[in-house]
Amino acid sequence: MEAVYLSFDVYTNMIQELKHKFEKVEFILKHFPEARNNDNYLIYLYWRLVDQCEALEDIVHATSPEVIRRARQKIQNELGLYQPTNDKVRKRRRQAEKVIRKHIHEL
């Protein structure tokens, strides 16, 4: 099935109706499958659609990348939604999670 993309203005209007950052990240993951694999692309889309950044200077006032990443992580890891479409990304994230859990248990 081929993805159908609307203009950024349409997505911007749709996403602005959502209240919470978590819901906005979920919206992006749903409508832009490539963002499931790449946090940088997810953050770019969030800044463009939600924070409406158009120039580098706008990023100073944009949502923190960490807030966006943590929302993505919760959606994918805890809720099991919008998993990465790339198997290499999925495997790498699982391995990183195992390492972190191991070190947490050692503390």
| The 3-state secondary structure of the chain, one letter per residue | CCCCCCCHHHHHHHHHCCCCHHHHHHHHHHHCHHHHCCHHHHHHHHHHHCCCCCCHHHHHHCCCHHHHHHHHHHHHHHCCCCCCCCHHHHHHHHHHHHHHHHHHHHC
Q: Is residue 22 part of a domain?
A: yes
Question: How does pLDDT run across 53-70, given as a tens digit for each residue?
Answer: 999 999 999 999 999 999
Inside any domain, residue 64: yes
Mean pLDDT of the chain: 90
Closest CA to 34 of 86, 77, 90: 86
Confidence tier at 4 by pLDDT (50, 70, 90): low
Structure token digits, residue 36 = 């499931």
Percentage of residues in the chain having pLDDT higher than 90 = 68
The parent domain of residue 41 ranges over 8-106
In a domain, 1, yes or no: no
- The confidence score (pLDDT) of residue 100 equals 79
3 within some domain:
no
Query: What is the tally of structural domains in the chain?
Result: 1
